[in-house]
Structure 1
Amino acid sequence: MTSPPAVPVTLAEIARLAGVGRAAVSNWRRRHDTFPPRIGGTATSPHFSLTDIEKWLRDNGKLGKTTSREWLWPRFEALGDRDETGLAIATVGRLLARGESDGGGSDGAGEGPVRAAAELGRREGSYDILMFLLRRWLDTHVRQISTTPEPLADLMADLALWARGPLVGEHPEDPIRVLDPACGAGHLLAAAVKAVPTTLNRPAALLGCDRDPVLTALTDVRLALLQDPETSGPAPVIAPGDSLRADPLIGAQADVVLCNPPANERDWGYEDLAADTRWVHGTPPRTEPELAWVQHCLARLRPGGSAVLLLPPTVVARKAGRRIRRSLLRTGALRAVVALPPGSAAPHSLSLHLWVLRRPAPGESPQAPGEFLFVDAAARFPRSTSRDSGPERDELGAFIRSVVGTAGKRAVAGTLCEQAIEDSDATAWAAAVPVIDLLDDDVDLTPGRHVTSASGHVGPQLADSWSEVGELLEGLRTESACLAALELTRDTEDQPSATVGELARAGALTLRSGRLPAEAAVPDPGHARVPLLTISDLLLDESPSGWVYPDDIVVVEPRDVVVVGVSREFSAWVHEGPPMAVGPQIHALRVDPDVLDPWFLAGSLKSPANARHAGTHASSSSRIDVRRLQVRRINLSEQRRYSDAFRHLTAFEGLAEHLRIVAKRMGRDLGDELAAGRLAHGTWTGP
């Protein structure tokens, strides 16, 4: 009988299993002759046997306090194939749902991990173990599988339930039928399991389908474990299939539809579906697959039912879709568009939109509602809403629930009224616009175009901005006085200098070049993530936009000097915030405080003359060779004298840049107010 192949683990995975940092594992490997030899990988990214590592950690008392589930994932990941691993996880869920201990349904290499996971699930909680494996699997294949973040899924479920109208023949105890025609891993349906009983005190009957049979298998077992068999509705019906081309749930009618459809998909069946009966509002052009999904969702709704879809921002304005948008407005099918801040869901660089739709019930006026609701949450939360920034994320959800929820509860025959916005205290970021005003040649439903002109409530914001301007000007006066007092000599005597490379070789500093993590980051409660700064963030004038685990990456600590090695964004500064990871072409310099002052080093390095000297023009994108940057050789006390001057100069530049940003924002807001004719009589007498 042949033994099963060894399960490989990396240094980062060993660190996670042991509950320590990657550097500690590297030290163990270097200092202990008994550390297991590598079984594969490369010299820079070696692989080790999981069995050997577990034995070594136990024998040496370094196993740590990691949970048993941490040891599961490497065994599933070793299965290699995405589909095989996903189906093995689905088998675990199926066994747990049935209360079985046998690994039946999985054979070969997957049988052992499946049995181990099922046994652990019965001890630690079936749903928790399934979700642990599912999240790890989704994070490993994050570029192949798009998911809806759980907070956003909860928000979409709430909005859809609030937008429902009266349903003909509805019994108060009937289950609410919820459909997701592109269910993926089931995030939206899982949100409905929680939202329906909470909001309506009724069970949910779940329907879903997806083209990927692995995802439908995972969704099926996820929902089976999530639902309470005593209080929940009927068993979920999850079927594999293409909802647009060959809907496996073609006869289903739902009370609520939630959907995050595939975006920018050209091969969606345009030729085959040209005469489809679902295209009540017009045949979707080949370039408008999202509008095909919108009409599909409406076709699957019962009269009075509602739908919420997550769509790219281009769908509200593309010329090819204006005829369909016009019909959606005229018939009252489309009720609201909500602009989300970038970072709310993938792709994280875009401000995605929520579309709130409702199929008019019999007896409702077939005419369009009087007003259409726009919510510009992207303007209310101008910074990216990171997936990990809990307080801001919760505030975003509360804001949208307040605006759309108030409007939905005040809806009378489908009319969204301005009073709802006033009651939600969101008049500066929401607008109820008469539908007739939207039916122009473009039918552009971009929230920012309509909210800005409709609100006119920026008085308190401007007052705060003027106060901020006063503080910035006072700071500039202080710093400018310090800088103006500096006396500059004209002496041109040669002073010795050293390059960064020479200082590194002498041990005065250590130079580390940033890079992206080699492996996809996976959630790990025992290891906090750190923000990741990349060149793209600097080019977009943004703060760090990504989050990574501090394994296999370069992390800068307070008092480290950060140097950007790209000519057009060349800069150097002393990092003063919490730990932060840096990506490619960004370098971290850690100085020996007995030899170098970090402020003196940063101020010297970012000199424009220094950049010209160290620049390389070997390609179209000019870069800076950080090792060639020069620093004058002076003693530490003299460095500190220059350090104070560099500090004041940096503060002066920072205040000036902040003032520029505030002035630009004020110019936009004040310009809108003046252009709208809101200047009170007698308040302006001229110069």
Structure 2
Amino acid sequence: MAGATDLISLSEIAELAGVQRPVVTTWRRRYPGFPAPAQTDRGRPLFKAREVVDWLVDTGRAERRSIEPDLRLHVLSCLALQTGMSSGVGRRRALTPEDLVSATTALICLHHLDDEPLRPDGFTDRHVVEALRERATEADWDNELLRSEIEALPPDAAWLAEVVDELIEAAWGTAQAYERVLAARHRFGVPRLYEDAVVPQLARLMVELSGVREHADLHGLVQVADPHAGTGDLLMAARHALGEHEPVMFAAEADPLLARLARRRLVVHGVSRGSWQLDIAAGRPSGSPTADVVLMRLPYQPAEARTDLDPFAELAELTRALAPGQTAVVFGPAELLVGALPPYRPAARSRNELLATGRVEAVVQLPGGIMPFRPGYQSALWVLRHEEAPEWQGRVLLADVSDRPLTDNVVENLVVDVATWRREGHRPDQHLRAYASQVRIADLTVPRRPLTARRPATLRDLTRDGRVTVAELADTEAELDRLADPRPRLRAHVGARDDIQRAPTKSIAALVRDGHLALLKGSRIAADHVGTDGHNPVIGPPELTAGARIGARRIDRALFAQRYPRARLTEPGDVLVTVTPRLRAYHDEPGFSVVDYPTRVLRILPDGRDRFTPRVLEVLVNAVQKQRPSGAVRVATRLADLQLPLLPPADVARLDALLAAVEARRNLARRELDLLDDLSRRAVAGLTDGTLTITEGPPPAGPTPP
């Protein structure tokens, strides 16, 4: 790895390290050990990539096993982008971005087939390429996989073999290296590589809805077909779902680049060459009529072209070809698959005819953005299945998850809904489903009827008795009456002073130096480690400045201890402070919270207890107007520069008592507001679901109308 590809910019370092661009600038300014620039390009500093990676690993900001493959991918993506520039790597410009991706994946596949290094020791550059061509001819004599890509390598392409060797070694294998390349496909500047890529959650949903694993367990063999395979995302999802079972795969892809990528992907992942057939052609692959499972993506069309589109003729042909026990899962535009189609459109009639066949098992409306590079594309799934006497005769399952992300939990619940629906001996009318509702097909074939249904009731909803709700609301009313009783009068006991004496101030930094306060850093908590369940609350800028509820974000205790061994929980009475995006403090009375960077902790030390209490410190920080320190041109933005007033100890004690009384009254007000919200919400819900009614009686208490 040498030349221009060995150099990396600040923004590329940020992408490599998985941080924001300003973080790298901070590292460079704060840490003397950060690598110095190797050269500049029009004023832009460039660094040796190897030195940067070593620094990230040595300082604990990256793991070598994960960042080494990313470094090689950075090299490859730089080469791909430089091919279209007027300056760059010179002799390497003969490879276009498409050629580079094809050559890289072909070399990975060749390494997998003969298990030999791509650039052996002692070979000159020209001998390396000649040897690669000979090996390709021997390993792929019929040119199904890689022979043409390697024969097209220029004579001076030995550098690429060296980079791919390093990538395979860093990724711990050819399969992992291949997936690394495909995961970074958007960085190579070839849109057709990534525009229609299937995200893992969608691929898993389609595969598990197809029942491919159950079919293989039952019959010992399963045949899978994909008529629009792309780079093989759905085929690979089926391969992983099957575990030890060896599938037979039929696929087709009209784009030769994508088709050959998919072929190599299957081979690298251990699918034997005799158990798959991937045609470079449009339409259904040969042999697919016998497939037990069909995974199908309708080709993307822009919105203006979908007006006259009728995919249901192709789906009807697919449905007729299904033998008993066979399943097809189809992904396509929601506008056609679930939308309210006008009766004059041919697609409306074709859709109704397909519904009437009784082969449509389930229809699922998916969330927007399921195709990352087509964010405005709304999509849906159809599950087609042939059963001799289906349990769902005359009905279809409708599910709508368009209002939530397609998480693993949502996928699992959808699969359970459909799997129990199709199970032999199942009683659909007695099954509680998470997202799907059964609907009569006759009700869906009326004009302009969308294929959506109200989300099904949960077990709690179905067992809810109106009399129980009435009793619980009576308890709510009684608690509201108690809260409305006369309360003790609140007295602040403040008075005006004749001689105005402003309290002296001292910076937080000075208070820390004097031993009155301790200023502690928060921890950078990864977003995927935070959820709604867990032992410890996570508190940061969302809670302090954005109105998020304290305790809404949580982290598991064991995960926190394992992944953040240097981090510490708060102590009762700590004051959490952030200056980003604005200054805000919060008194963590119970403690045992995780502080999310850039939030920090102000802890009152024994020598500072006559100057501050946790409540007093919180309100004093929140009252600070970000003064300009003496001699400063700009207002203070650093927390340590903020000036806090120093009140007399007697005033501190009295202010703390006042704040405690105010907090108690505020808690009563919050409780009353929560009860009023709950009362109105449950009354409306009971009236709309038919479990409650409002009887005649005296008017509810409230303000007298004018």
With the length of structure 1 as denominator, give the TM-score of the two structures: 0.61
Decide whether the 8 Å contact of 2:313 with 2:350 is kept in 1. no
Unaligned runs of 5+ in 1: 166-170, 271-283, 388-392, 412-416, 512-520, 524-529, 546-554, 583-587, 612-624
What is the DSSP-based 3-state SS (H/G/I as helix, E as strand, rest coil) of the residue aligned with 1:221?
helix
Aligned equivalent of 1:514 = none
Aligned equivalent of 2:124 = none
Residue 204 of structure 2 is aligned to residue 188 of structure 1: no
Residue 484 of structure 2 is aligned to residue 436 of structure 1: no
2:491 to 487, 503, 528: 487
CA drift of 1:176 comes to 1.0
1:235 to 276, 287, 294: 276
Q: Distance in 1 between matches of 2:553 and 2:203?
A: 25
1:306 to 297, 321, 327: 327
What is the DSSP-based 3-state SS (H/G/I as helix, E as strand, rest coil) of the residue aligned with 2:456?
helix
TM-aligned CA distance change 1:646 to 1:670, over 3 Å: same
Q: Distance in 2 between matches of 1:469 and 1:342?
A: 42
Q: Distance in 1 between matches of 2:568 and 2:300?
A: 37
Q: Distance in 2 between matches of 1:482 and 1:343?
A: 54
Decide whether the 8 Å contact of 1:599 with 1:647 is kept in 2. no
Q: Distance in 2 between matches of 1:89 and 1:466?
A: 70
What is the DSSP-based 3-state SS (H/G/I as helix, E as strand, rest coil) of the residue aligned with 1:336?
strand
Unaligned runs of 5+ in 2: 82-96, 120-131, 133-149, 520-526, 530-537, 555-566, 627-635, 699-706
Matched ranges for 1:130-529 at <5 A: 130-137=178-185, 145=195, 147-161=197-211, 175-179=222-226, 181=228, 183-196=229-242, 203-209=247-253, 215-229=258-272, 234-237=275-278, 239=280, 247=283, 249=285, 252-253=288-289, 254-259=291-296, 265-266=302-303, 270=305, 285-286=307-308, 292=311, 296-300=314-318, 302-304=321-323, 305-310=326-331, 316-320=338-342, 322-338=348-364, 354-358=380-384, 369-375=393-399, 384-385=404-405, 393-394=408-409, 396-410=410-424, 419-420=427-428, 422-423=430-431, 426-427=432-433, 429-447=435-453, 449=454, 451=456, 457=462, 459=464, 486-488=490-492, 491=495
Amino acid at match of 2:356: R
Q: Distance in 2 between matches of 1:532 and 1:88?
A: 47
Q: Distance in 2 between matches of 1:333 and 1:139?
A: 42
Decide whether the 8 Å contact of 2:224 with 2:295 is kept in 1. no
Q: Distance in 1 between matches of 2:211 and 2:420?
A: 13
2:70 to 49, 70, 73: 73
Higher relative contact order (CA 8 A, sep 6+): 1
CA drift of 1:109 comes to 5.9
Decide whether the 8 Å contact of 1:178 with 1:192 is kept in 2. no
CA drift of 1:597 comes to 7.3
With the length of structure 2 as denominator, give the TM-score of the two structures: 0.59
TM-aligned CA distance change 1:222 to 1:484, over 3 Å: farther
Aligned length: 573
TM-aligned CA distance change 1:474 to 1:455, over 3 Å: closer
Decide whether the 8 Å contact of 2:297 with 2:331 is kept in 1. yes
Q: Distance in 1 between matches of 2:672 and 2:507?
A: 33
Decide whether the 8 Å contact of 1:159 with 1:401 is kept in 2. yes
What is the DSSP-based 3-state SS (H/G/I as helix, E as strand, rest coil) of the residue aligned with 1:102?
coil
CA offset digits 1:650-686 (Å, max 9, x no partner): 7567656765775576356423321xxx569xx9897
Q: Distance in 2 between matches of 1:180 and 1:660?
A: 57
CA offset digits 1:120-169 (Å, max 9, x no partner): 56xx333233334433556999996464443442232121237999xxxx
TM-aligned CA distance change 1:5 to 1:226, over 3 Å: closer
CA drift of 1:445 comes to 1.7
What is the DSSP-based 3-state SS (H/G/I as helix, E as strand, rest coil) of the residue aligned with 1:177?
strand
Aligned equivalent of 1:93 = 108
What is the DSSP-based 3-state SS (H/G/I as helix, E as strand, rest coil) of the residue aligned with 1:75?
helix
CA drift of 1:398 comes to 3.6
CA drift of 1:403 comes to 1.7
TM-aligned CA distance change 1:560 to 1:456, over 3 Å: closer
TM-aligned CA distance change 1:579 to 1:197, over 3 Å: same
Amino acid at match of 1:94: C
What is the DSSP-based 3-state SS (H/G/I as helix, E as strand, rest coil) of the residue aligned with 1:78?
helix
CA drift of 1:205 comes to 0.8
Decide whether the 8 Å contact of 2:249 with 2:277 is kept in 1. yes
Q: Distance in 1 between matches of 2:12 and 2:600?
A: 24
CA drift of 1:443 comes to 1.3
Matched ranges for 1:3-18 at <5 A: 5-8=5-8, 10=10, 13=13
Q: Distance in 1 between matches of 2:580 and 2:213?
A: 49
Q: Distance in 2 between matches of 1:40 and 1:120?
A: 29
Matched ranges for 1:554-569 at <5 A: 559-561=575-577
Q: Distance in 1 between matches of 2:568 and 2:254?
A: 43
Decide whether the 8 Å contact of 1:11 with 1:26 is kept in 2. no
CA drift of 1:341 comes to 7.1
CA drift of 1:457 comes to 1.4
What is the DSSP-based 3-state SS (H/G/I as helix, E as strand, rest coil) of the residue aligned with 1:332?
coil
Aligned equivalent of 1:36 = 36
Q: Which structure has the larger Rg?
A: 2
Aligned equivalent of 1:516 = none
Decide whether the 8 Å contact of 1:76 with 1:110 is kept in 2. no
Q: What RMSD over aligned residues (CA atoms) do the two structures have, in Å?
A: 6.4
Q: Distance in 2 between matches of 1:158 and 1:49?
A: 46
Amino acid at match of 1:317: G
Q: Distance in 2 between matches of 1:175 and 1:340?
A: 27
Identity %: 17
